[in-house]
Amino acid sequence: MDDDLVFKALADPTRRLLLDRLFERDGRTLTELESQLEMSRFGVMKHLKVLEQAGLVVPRKQGREKLHYLNPVPIRQILDRWIGKYREHAVSALLDLKTSLEDTA
């Protein structure tokens, strides 16, 4: 999955709100997602499309309905690729600081 698409998709409060709604209860229809937002159906559709292109939302047909599912895998990949690396770095920098402060104390 393209990291740029994921970061761009996440860089919008409405889209993050949609993901939070799906996290609370997954597998929702457009109608249901729309009813919780002060936004036109077209607006919600556009945001969902961006989330789908980033792989963060996966649509699946169930009967005549199209249900939207939160796909947590791209976020996991961002975590593995970006966050984990820097978190480790920050932790080791703090440990270095602790050691050097304690040595000079």
Partner 1 sequence: MTTMTDTTTQVYQLYIRATPEQVWDAITNPDTIAKYFHGAQIDPGPLEVGASRRSWSPDRTRLWGDNTILECDPPRRYVHTWRSLYDDELAAEDESRVTWEIEPADGGTSKLTLVHDKLEGAPKTAASVTGWSYILSNMKTLIETGEAFPAAT
Give contact residues for partner 1 (rule: CB under 8 A). Answer: 1, 25-29, 31-32, 35, 55, 58, 60, 62, 65, 67, 69-77, 80
Give backbone dihedrals phi and psi of 29, rounded to 5 degrees, phi first: -85, 160
* Residue 24: how many other CB atoms lie within 10 Å: 10
CB of 70 to partner 1, least distance (A): 8
CB of 42 to partner 1, least distance (A): 19
User: Two tokens at 9?
Assistant: 């998709």
Q: Report how far residue 39's alpha carbon sits from residue 37's, in angstroms, rounded to the nearest whole number.
A: 5
Q: Which lies closer to partner 1 via its Cβ, residue 29 or residue 99?
A: 29
CB of 82 to partner 1, least distance (A): 13
Nearer to partner 1, 39 or 55 (CB): 55
15 CB-contact burial (10 Å; exposed 0-12 / middle 13-18 / buried 19+):
buried
